[in-house]
Amino acid sequence: MTLRISHHLSGPVLGLVLSLGVVCTAGAQTRDGVNVGGNSAFSKLVPAEQVEQAAAQQYGQMLAKAQDQNALAGPNDPQVRRLRAIAHKIIPFANDWNDRAKSWKWEVNLMGANQINAFCMPGGKIAFYTGILDTLKLTDDEVAMVMGHEIAHALREHARERMGKNAATGLGANLLSQVLGLGDIGQTVTQYGAQLLTLKFGREDESEADLVGMELAARAGYNPRAAVSLWQKMGAANKGAPPEWLSTHPSGNARIAQIEANLPQVMPLYVRTRKAKP
């Protein structure tokens, strides 16, 4: 069983968090693939439906803005078709990581910007920026590693977890009561949407997303070794990035080491999928 509790919690807030229970991961050790434990209990402090609704609203607004700026690629754009084809192969394996994914209305879009970035918001709202494709010259396998990583953030509910931690450590039991519907409604969908724009994932979240994303891509038939070449390209493109201890993200070398250590867990999945193809 897995439960991550911040050392900042105490008193009634800690009691409330503990009363929510933990995510049981019995049997996780026997499944093939990577093992990262269960989703954090902190995610239970924020209603999933509201987070996903807020994400859909924010995603729609971002697409509308991109459309107004002639920066939203159309459905017949070759890169859009490529991204959606890769997503079509990966998404069926998402359900094993999160039951909610079965009802998500997945979307994949491409926006014109020089940012080396991509994301998947709660509820399966995926976006890539042209900068990551053009600057890094990504292969399909490398695109799949990026996409799997971003999808993993949504499946592991890292945004929802961060909101729960922010509420628990920053605003205390009063806000927790509001979020849980035990008092006045204090967190509206609009406020959730605003948080989604500013939430930052920690090193543990990024490490989980690397591994889960690599597994998702491998099961979909994409070579997990591409995760190594992806982060080598990322490192070359971000030479001015701060050292690991100054950043919430693992350093490129640390990520590559973790990926290489877990290749034995995912390569058999990739090989099996490739052999199964006619």
Angle at 207 between CA 204 and CA 212, to 5 degrees: 120
All residues at 6 or more sequence positions from 243 whose CB lies less than 8 Å from its CB, including other chains: 251
The single residue of 52, 107, 150, 206 carrying the catalytic annotation is: 150
The answer to whether residue 150 is catalytic is yes
Residues recognised as catalytic? 150
